[in-house]
Amino acid sequence: MYTIFHTDAIVLGGNDRGDASRALSLFTREHGLLYAHAQGLRELKSKLRYALQDFSYAHVNLVHGKSGWKVTSALHKSSFLPHGEMRARLGAIVRVSKLLRRLLPEEEKNEALYDEILQTFSMIKSTPFSPQYIFNVEVILVMRILALLGYWGDDVRFAPFLEEDIAKEELLQQMMSIKPFAIREINKALKETQL
């Protein structure tokens, strides 16, 4: 008999498998990044269908068998997909999710990063920032991801962006002048990861 693991998860995306199944990338607080199979997820009658959409937040029950993780049930908590015509918000969430799928080691717990992603994705969805500020939030979040994964340097110019409240308007305004330097450092760090 398999042990059932109960956890909250951020659905970072997935790939279709077979006729109706899907392989999901789930970022969990307790287990880090998990790749889990959801049988029949794309069927119209599937109870998992709405709970496990890309960029959603759900409580999932998982088992770990011979062929890896499998989702047995899920309960939808919320979605990070923004309402209305806000491409900047959706673009930021999609790009950060892809970056996490690229950089996160499988099944390695990182509670601080999980909490940062959950809080910032919720803020991106609901805070009425301009597209320019949303991009600034994304840049700061990527800096924090790299720092929490050990890929960021210790340049003092960027210290406030790693420590202060990401929703603080003064911080987002300050990013306007330093953004070209931050993006250059992000690209350098990403290149050095070799991932």
pTM assigned to the model: 0.92
Terminal CA-CA length for the chain: 37
Tell which phi-psi region holds residue 120, choosing left (phi > 0), alpha (psi between -120 and 50) or beta: alpha
* Distance in angstroms (rounded) separating the CA atoms of residues 12 and 52: 10
- Domain annotation for the chain: domains and CATH numbers: 4-79 (2.40.50.140), 87-193 (no CATH)
Highest mean pLDDT among 46-50, 145-149, 155-159: 145-149
Q: Residues 4-33: what's their mean pLDDT? A: 93
Whether residue 164 has pLDDT greater than 90: yes
Per-residue pLDDT of 113-144, as tens digits, reads 999 999 999 999 988 888 999 999 999 999 99
Q: What is the pLDDT of residue 84?
A: 60
pLDDT tens-place string over residues 58-87: 999 999 988 899 999 999 999 998 766 578
- Cα separations (Å) of 47 from 40, 63, 68, 160? 9, 17, 21, 44
Cβ atoms of 162 and 185 closer than 8 Å: no
